[in-house]
Chains A and B, each alone.
Chain A
């Protein structure tokens, strides 16, 4: 029986590479029985989703006026 600690690592690994079939089976079996690990796995997926959405996020970052001026100076050099 795999421990939650191992399952947490396997859950992450399943996002990066295909699990060997037996491991995948044991992983699924554990998830079916363990609510905490199910939640963990769902949240890892959500974090991935967040990173893919970050470019379109409402987080507003802008060049500072100083940086803007510096860059303008550099790109207008003959």
Chain B
């Protein structure tokens, strides 16, 4: 098979899918392109070990997944200084009043299921993700898209206690929710 193997055919068939997969997880286009390249190179190199028990795409995605986690680990190491846990409560934004009640209670979202077919909706969602601070976004995506568990995340990102992690994830979800509400669900109200 190696004799007739055409690297460009892989690029043609799987390039975009791999790119999307990486882009959704790391948010950085240039880095996502590099990871696609590295993944294809690694795949070509170890073509002999491809067992055909899975599809080529699943196999390549598996390689990419490892590369993404490596990439995020490296980024986390580079950025520890700016990633200290910040205990102050300001990160809640102005969601609550002094006595802990909602300032602006979450509004009902109208038929959110319909929005799943809407590319514009996904664009807004991606933009909201892109607005999150890089490290918290990385953390959050690994938690939600890869289902990574708390202890593994703490190790990967050098977070002291799982309790700090829960707080970070909570603030991330809060920001993301507010962003979606502001830029999509409440638009035109």
Q: Are A and B interaction partners?
A: yes
A residues lining the B interface (CB < 8 Å)? 3-6, 8-9, 11-13, 15-17, 35-37, 39-40, 43-44, 46-48, 50-55, 57-64, 67-68, 70-72, 74-76
Contact partner of B166 (CB less than 8 A), chosen from A12, A44, A52, is: A12
Please give, as numbers and ranges, the residues of chain A lying within 8 Å of B136 by CB-CB distance: none
- In Å, the complex CA distance between A76 and B33 comes to 16
What's the nearest-Cβ distance from chain B to residue A54, in Å?
5
B99 near A: Cβ within 8 Å?
A: yes
B26 near A: Cβ within 8 Å?
A: no
| Nearest residue, chain B, Cβ from A9 | B170
> In the complex the two chains form, is B19's CB within 8 Å of A63's CB?
yes
> In the complex the two chains form, is B33's CB within 8 Å of A67's CB?
yes
> In the complex the two chains form, is A58's CB within 8 Å of B33's CB?
no
> In the complex the two chains form, is A4's CB within 8 Å of B102's CB?
yes
Chain B 172-189 residues near chain A, CB threshold 8 A: 173-174, 176-177, 180-181
What is the interface residue range for chain B against chain A?
A: 35 or more
Please give, as numbers and ranges, the residues of chain B lying within 8 Å of A76 by CB-CB distance: 7-8
Contact partner of A75 (CB less than 8 A), chosen from B37, B102, B181, is: B37
B residues lining the A interface (CB < 8 Å)? 7-8, 10-11, 15-16, 19-21, 23-24, 33, 36-37, 40-41, 44, 92, 95-96, 99-102, 105-109, 112, 116-119, 122-123, 125-126, 141, 143-145, 150, 162, 165-167, 169-170, 173-174, 176-177, 180-181
Please give, as numbers and ranges, the residues of chain B lying within 8 Å of A61 by CB-CB distance: 16, 19-20, 23-24
Interface of B is mostly: helix
Please give, as numbers and ranges, the residues of chain A lying within 8 Å of B23 by CB-CB distance: 61
Please give, as numbers and ranges, the residues of chain A lying within 8 Å of B37 by CB-CB distance: 70-71, 74-75
- In the A-B complex, the 4 residue pairs with the smallest Cβ-Cβ separation, listed nearest first, are A3-B100, A59-B122, A36-B105, A12-B170
> In the complex the two chains form, is B21's CB within 8 Å of A55's CB?
yes
Please give, as numbers and ranges, the residues of chain A lying within 8 Å of B107 by CB-CB distance: 39
Given the known interface contacts A3-B99, A63-B33, A67-B33, the answer about A16 and B166 at a Cβ–Cβ threshold of 8 Å is yes
Please give, as numbers and ranges, the residues of chain A lying within 8 Å of B106 by CB-CB distance: 36, 39-40, 43
Residue with the highest number of chain B CB atoms closer than 10 Å, among A6, A36, A54: A54
Contact partner of A9 (CB less than 8 A), chosen from B7, B16, B126, B166, is: B166
A-B pairs with beta carbons under 8 Å apart, 12 shown: A3-B100, A4-B96, A6-B100, A35-B105, A43-B177, A50-B116, A51-B144, A53-B116, A54-B125, A58-B116, A58-B118, A64-B33
Given the known interface contacts A54-B24, A70-B37, the answer about A8 and B95 at a Cβ–Cβ threshold of 8 Å is yes
> In the complex the two chains form, is A75's CB within 8 Å of B44's CB?
yes
